[in-house]
Amino acid sequence: MSHTLDGKSVVITGAGGGIGRATAQLVAAKGASVLCTDVNADGLKETVRLIQAESPAVQVVGEALDCTEHGAAVEVITRCADAWGGDFHALVNVAGVIMAKPLMEVELADLERVFRVNLGGMLVMSQAVAPRLTDGGVIVNVSSSTARSASPSLAAYGASKAANAYLSRAFAAELAERGIRVCGIGPGAVDTAMPRSIMPPGAEGERLLEAAVAHTQLIKRLAQPEEVAAAICFLLSDDASYITGSTLWFDGGASAAH
């Protein structure tokens, strides 16, 4: 099964690196036009360069955009949809931030920062894109396995991702009358900059990361971003036509084991 996206057009947030970049590359390789957005303009430039080299036949645009800025998002979405001559078929909300802190030390400002991007960003982008999404379109939201397990020091992040999974269900209910499917995906540890950003630098951090994966998952390695991208492309494709409101726990068996 190839999960083709031929002729579709897809908006992706957090496309400047990691899972977002891998998703943008795979979506393009499967034949879709792709609007890549991120606050990281340099990362975006590299994503666009890679897609142009790998998938020269598809349309690709990179737009620096903060996913929490509704007015800017509407402007970018409208401009690109008009230029491409039609509404989008899909939105993938990948942008996110992480914070590691014991719950007893978490301040309201920490919570606001993490929830603003991880929950607010997907809310704002869904609101901005939905009016320019075709009936029968798809939204995929990247949650996290931490939404289901009480990881030490990751409670604020996990709470934001649990709320993210909840909004996937709520958006699925609200947009069902237009035939729009809304799905979540909850990865475990993925081989990107994000998990390393909360580890000590160098070999010690790698050792701790590997130990955490071995302790929590049945598949005792980090997922590659390309593996997450493949699952997202399945959810975006017609092969997933009966899936909505669900979050796929893409966690190497962590939720089965704990």
Ligand X SMILES: NC(=O)c1ccc[n+]([C@@H]2O[C@H](COP(=O)([O-])OP(=O)(O)OC[C@H]3O[C@@H](n4cnc5c(N)ncnc54)[C@H](O)[C@@H]3O)[C@@H](O)[C@H]2O)c1
Annotated catalytic sites, by residue?
157
Amino acid at 11: V
The closest of 162, 14, 147 to 91, measured between CA atoms, is 14
Residue 251: CB minimum distance to ligand X, A: 8
Structural tokens at position 149: 């397990």
**With respect to ligand X, which residue has the nearer C-beta, 94 or 240?**
94
- Specify the 3-state DSSP secondary structure of 14: coil
Closest CB 152 distance from ligand X, rounded Å? 16
Least distance to ligand X, CB of residue 22, Å? 8
In which order are the strands placed within the sheet that holds 88-93? 60-64, 33-38, 9-12, 88-93, 133-142, 181-187, 247-250
C-beta closer to ligand X: residue 19 or 162: 19
CA–CA separation, 46 and 50 (whole Å): 6
Furthest-apart CA atoms within the chain: distance in Å: 52
Find the shortest distance in angstroms from Cβ 53 to ligand X: 20
Q: Which is closer to ligand X, CB of 13 or CB of 55?
A: 13
Nearest distance in Å: CB 76, ligand X: 11
| Binding region for ligand X (CB under 6 A) | 13-14, 16-20, 38-40, 43, 66-68, 94-98, 117, 121, 142, 144, 187, 189-190, 192-195
Which DSSP symbol is given to 7?
T
Q: How far apart are the two ends of the chain, measured CA to CA in Å?
A: 31
Identity of the residue, 65 or 172, whose beta carbon is nearer to ligand X in the bound complex: 65
Between 31 and 72, name the residue whose CB sits nearer to ligand X.
72
Residue 92 sits at φ, ψ, to 5 deg, of -120, 115
Beta-carbon contacts of residue 65 (< 8 Å; ≥ 6 apart): 13, 37, 38, 39, 72, 73, 76
